[in-house]
Structure 1
Amino acid sequence: MMFLPLLIGAAVAAAPAPARPETDAGKLAAAPAAAHRPYDFREEEEQNEFRRMKELLENDTPESAAELRAILTRQLEREIAFTAARRTYFEAKCQRAEHSVKAWKSDPDRVVENHLKTVLASAAMSGGGHGRAVPGVRRPVHNSETLEAERSFRKTAAEYRKTGDEALLGRLRSDIRREMERRAEETPRRLPELRKAAERAGARLAYLKSRKNEIIEQRVKHLFEIARKP
C-alpha cells in the first residue's frame, strides 16, 4: 500500500477521456471552481482529499465507497469548472484578436494613441516603468516578442515621465506603431490555433458533463480494483 497515492493518481487518469485531455488528472484538485480562494488553501484541500482517499481505499466498505465517490465527484466538478473557464478564456482571446485586427484596419492611429495612453499610465502607476498592472487595463502579453516590446515601451515611457523629453515620446509612438503593425500581421495567423483550443475545451466540457456519473463510477471501481491487488 505504500504506493497507493501514486496509484490513486494513475487510476483517476485512467478514466475515459478524449485523445488530448485538457488537464492532468492527478492535478484536478489544484484547479477548483472558486479561483478567488488562496492558492495555499487549494493545495491543502487537495492533499487532504488524497490522504482521505488513501484511508478509504484501505478500508473497503460500502461507506468508504460512498465517501470516495463524493470526493471524486467534487474533483470532477472542479475539473468541469476549470474546463469551462478554459473554454471561456480561449473564446475571449479569439474575440479580442478579431477585434484588434478590425480596429487596426479601421483606424490604426487610434490604436496607436490608445496603446500609448495605456503604456504611459502603466509607467505612472509603477513609478519606474516596471509594468505594474493598471486597474481595469488588460496588458496584451502573448509571447516573448510581445513581452519584450512591452518592456521596451515601459522603459521609454518611464524615461519620458522623468525628463519630459518630447523626442522620447515621439520615439515611443513610432515604436508602438511598428509593434502594432507586427501584431496586426501576426494575429490572423494565430486565430486558427486559438479557435481550435476553444473547440477542444468545449468538446472536453461537453464530454465531462454528459458522462459525469459514468466517469465517477469507473474511477471508483478502478481505484478499488487497484487497492485490492496484493
Structure 2
Amino acid sequence: MNASEDRVLVIVPAWNEARNVGNTIREIRAADAAYDVLVIDDGSSDGTASVAHDAGAMVVMLPFNLGVGGAMRTGFTYAQRAGYTRAIQVDADGQHNPLDIARVVQGLKSADISIGARFAKVGDYSVRGPRKWAMLFLARTVSRVARTQLTDVTSGFRAANKRAIDQYVDYYPAEYLGDTIDSLVAACNAGLTVTQVPVAMRPRVHGNPSQGAFGASVYLLRSVFALALAMIRGSIARPASRSREPKP
C-alpha cells in the first residue's frame, strides 16, 4: 500500500497571501498533525512561498498566476501522482476553519465529493442582493444536476476521493467560477456523487475579499453565464461518451 493512501492531502491555493498563509498552515497542522499540507503558490509577487515553507508546508510554485482553477488542478495532479485517495481544498485567507476539515472529509464515506457548505443552518455567514439571488439560483439548478439538495455550490471548501481526484485531473476549468460550478457539474455528469456538510465560514484576517461592491453587482450575470456554459459542456459530453460505448 502506498503510504499516502491513508493520509489526507490539504491543498492550499495561494496568491499573494504572505500575511495569511503561515497562520492558516499552523492552524491546519494544529487541527491534525497527520495532514499533509501542499501550498500552490499561484505566481505570487510577495513572500507567500517562503512563508508557507517556513510554516512547514510542501510548496509548488507556479511561474505565473493561473487562478484558483489552475492552482487546484496542479494540486490534484500532485495528489494523483503521489497516491493520495483523499484531498481537500482549504483557502489560504483563513475563511475555512481547519477544525472542520475532518467533518468535510468524513462526507467522503457516502459520496465522491463533500462540500463544506454555508447557508446550511450553521454559522452566521450571509449575503444580500444580486449575490444572494445568484447563489440561490445556482444551488437550486446544480442540486437538480447532482440529484441531491445543495445550499452552497460556490464553496471552495470541498473534499475529493480518488474518483473525484482523477476526474479533476482530467477536467478542472480555470475560468470564472469554473473551479466551483463547472467542475462540480462536470463531475456529476461523469457519474460522481456529491454531499454537503454544514460549516461556518470566518472572515479573512488580512486583505480584501475577492468580491467587492462592483463585483457583487455583476455576480448574478457572470454566475448565470458560468452555469450555462457548464450545462452546455455537459450536454455535449454526454452524447460523446455514449458514442464511445461498444455496440452489442
Range of TM-score over shorter length: under 0.3
**Could you say which structure has the higher helix fraction?**
1
Q: TM-score, normalised by structure 1?
A: 0.23
> Max radius of gyration: which structure?
1
Higher strand share: 2
TM-score if structure 2 supplies the norm length? 0.22
